[in-house]
Amino acid sequence: MLVYQQNSYNRTNLPLHSIKIFEVNIPSSNFSNYTWLEVYGRKFDRLQDIIAKVCDQSCSISNFGSIKLSCVVNMSIDAMEDCIFCLEGKLRSFGRFTINFNLPKKRSSHITNIILASTHSHSKHIRTIATIFAVIVLTFLILFVLCLRQFHKMTYSGMYLECVHTRLIFFLQRQPNRMKQCRTNGSQTALDTNYATFVTNDQFSGLKRKADELKTFNPYENLFMEIDSKLQIPLKDLELGDEIGKGNFGVVYRALYRSADGRLINVACKTIDSQSNGVITGISEFLQEGLIMANFDHPNVARLIGISSTNNNYPIIVTDFMAQGDLRHYIINPENRLTFGNLLDFGIQIAKGMTYLHDKQFIHRDLAARNCMLDACLVVKIADFGLSRDVSRCGMYQAIHKDRGIPIRWMPIESLEEQQYTFKADVWAYGIVLWELATRGLIPYADLGFTDILRLLKSGHRLMKPKGCPDNLYHYVMRRCWLEDPKRRPTFFELTEMMEDVVRQLRRGVSGDALLDGHYERVSARSFTVPLTTSTNSSDSTIITNL
């Protein structure tokens, strides 16, 4: 086995975190053309969207945890001498990073910190950290044993949870402030940050009761402390109202927010919900969705007002209140009298919002009418960034975690086959959104499953032109969004111009004003049939047509 232990460095500062790589091992049992690398370190689980490379060749990551990352590269061991092991990714809200780790011919004798260029003894620093970590683990074990003993004396599991919660808070509040490190003129500078603020407010008592009924409590899920103080909203400044919807992670409530200047603002509060077994999971992903929104400032993109936390320190994402709800429910409601001009305007607004997101190097990955919100003035706000990814480095995201539902009816062929998502995957989804608008909310491929959808798309079939939809909108815009070659699909900047051009052409037409300004009724689902296969002579009665 080859073991590399030597200096490594990062291209971007990763402040306030101490992430280490200890060594890179290459087991001797590798095949001649493939080499398996085992990278040992600390706190790898803080990293997101990791991409590993050796000599600029992709090293496919098979698994990674807190202290170990494994990957395999199509390269012999001999070819790796004097190479650079590159680790790229994102550290929560601190942005992208790149870490270069040299693989020398000869083994070095020391281990270095990725982040700090310190002159202190690294081995002494590691021993100190290990000692502190051991003390903390031992303390938690003692607390756990004490609570476990008390559990057998209690009647209700809720009382047990309260015991664990109280003791853990007591422990955390009495620990010295966590020391976070940053680079300052080549020396180590300690920055003090508190673990958390525990509030007592009755506005979210219902959420507290739900949390009190949980079977487990994980203090490490408390991420509220890492949020920028400018985004933090005290719980006492929120007055919870009625439930207005449910999302992928939890429930959305209407609320009143008292801002710092004393104004009362109508807001929406998105809270995380428990699973059927009563356990709350995915808090990190839920909080990430809110922090993604903090990067955006555009009239057609949902705005993050701030993030609060419940009495049990579960995050609450606070956004603008959207009086008209999501776009799909709005367009399927027959009481909302809409013109085709209104629907085209919605499409133009979405294209402008997506142009902004792509300029910011974000792939949405879940663009659909249900994930676009409407305010009281019918301004569209693109929302639901639970699947979004920052791809400022490579322009492509490959799914690693597959435990969350994916919107297969809005996905292009390359995403369905290879789970690869580029900017042009959002363009394909935009074409489906236009089809949703033109049908006033019908479900695409309504009766088809994953296998049938993929087979039909690969054979050249696409969704049928809806009744009443102008030819130029369908052929000039939608069909171009659904081109099989992603490179041939337009950008959202081009789509904005194309949609505005469609409106201009309709205005100049003989019956254009009547279509744009007249009431546009929802297309009847009974006017479509959904065959498992279609021929090249598909009639207008089918929901799928052949390219």
Euclidean distance between CA atoms 394 and 412, whole angstroms? 19
Six-digit token string for 540: 């207008």
Q: Specify whether the CB–CB gap between 8 and 101 falls below 8 A.
A: yes
Look at the block and give the residue holding tokens 């074409």: 431
Catalytic site includes residue 366: yes
Q: What is the DSSP letter of 368?
A: -
DSSP state of 489: S
85/56 Cα distance (integer angstroms): 8
Exposure class string for 171-206: b at 16+ Cβ within 10 A, else e:
bbeeeeeeeebbbeeeebeeeeeebbebeebebbee
CA distance 292 to 440: 30
Query: What is the rounded CA–CA span in Å between residue 285 and residue 291?
Result: 10
> Residue 55 and residue 143: Cα distance in Å, rounded?
48
Distance CA 374, CA 369 (A): 10
Long-range contacts of 177-181 (CB under 8 A, 24+ apart): 180/15, 180/16, 180/17, 180/18, 181/16, 181/17, 181/18, 181/115, 181/116
Closest by Cα among 309, 353, 312 to 169: 312
Which residues make Cβ contacts (< 8 Å) with residue 3, sequence separation at least 6?
Answer: 23, 24, 25, 26, 107
Residue 290 is encoded by which pair of tokens?
A: 């809110």
* Catalytic site residue from 345, 366, 384, 426: 366
Q: How many CB atoms lie within 10 A of CB 358?
A: 20
| Residue 101 CB-density burial (10 A; 0-12 exposed, 13-18 middle, 19+ buried) | buried
Helix (H) or strand (E) holding 508: helix 492-508
Gap between the Cα atoms of 389 and 136, Å rounded: 34
H or E segment to which residue 149 belongs: helix 122-151
The two tokens of residue 440 are 């006033």
Contact (Cβ atoms closer than 8 angstroms) between residue 310 and residue 341: no
Structure tokens at 8: 């490594």
Judge whether 370 and 252 are in contact, CB under 8 Å.
no
Q: Is 458 annotated as a binding residue?
A: no
Q: Are 424 and 413 in contact (CB under 8 A)?
A: no
Query: Which residues participate in catalysis according to the annotation?
Result: 366
Binding residues, as ranges, are 270
Binding residues for ATP, as ranges, are 270
